[in-house]
Amino acid sequence: MFRTHREMLGESVLFGIALQGNDLAKQGETTRAIRTYEIGAEAAEAAELPRPRLKLLLQLADLVRRTATRPEAMTAAERAHAAAAALVEAGHLDALGAAVNSASLFAEMARQEGDAPRGRAILAETRRLARSARTANAELWVLRNLLSLTLSAGSGVPP
């Protein structure tokens, strides 16, 4: 459906969907807000608009992190990271912060689930992105998170 009407799906429409999701979340209608973000992300993908898709996926990840199970939150964070990483790979370096933040969120949840290797893998990929973008600050932030995850994974001590 979205692919046949993608010319009608501009960024302003998609950002309006994001605002609607925000309003639903504020009203406590979590299920409807999650579905709104998911529909918006699907529409943005069909319209080939990666920035609005990333915004919707980041909002979805944040809401799911606060309201759903950890595995669901990890999936949402991983989807947001993939979208941000794709933008960075395409040369949109302004998405690097989203990639770093979503990877850090995912890694922390993976640690809490006892799956630190998965967290280290996503952080290593994000470090590669930061290094290829030649952004020392982002790379240092990822290294900090990677070190913290590595040190805390086996010790039982929070980072």
Alpha carbons 36 and 143: distance in angstroms, whole number = 35
pLDDT of residue 6: 52
**pLDDT of amino acid 140:** 81
- The pLDDT score that the predictor gives to residue 98 is 93
Tokens 């992190």 belong to 65
pLDDT given at position 84? 95
The alpha carbon of 52 is separated from its chain's Cα centroid by a whole number of angstroms, namely: 12
pTM of the shown model: 0.82
Check pLDDT > 80 for residue 8.
no
What would the pLDDT profile of 85-140 be if each residue is shown by its tens digit? 999 999 999 999 899 999 999 998 998 888 888 988 999 999 998 888 888 788 78
Name residue, tokens 């898709």.
53
CA–CA separation, 137 vs 84, rounded Å?
A: 17
3-state secondary structure of 125: helix
Alpha helices in 11-135 (DSSP H): 11-26, 30-46, 50-67, 70-89, 96-112, 116-132
The whole-number pLDDT of residue 34 equals 95
pLDDT of residue 20: 92
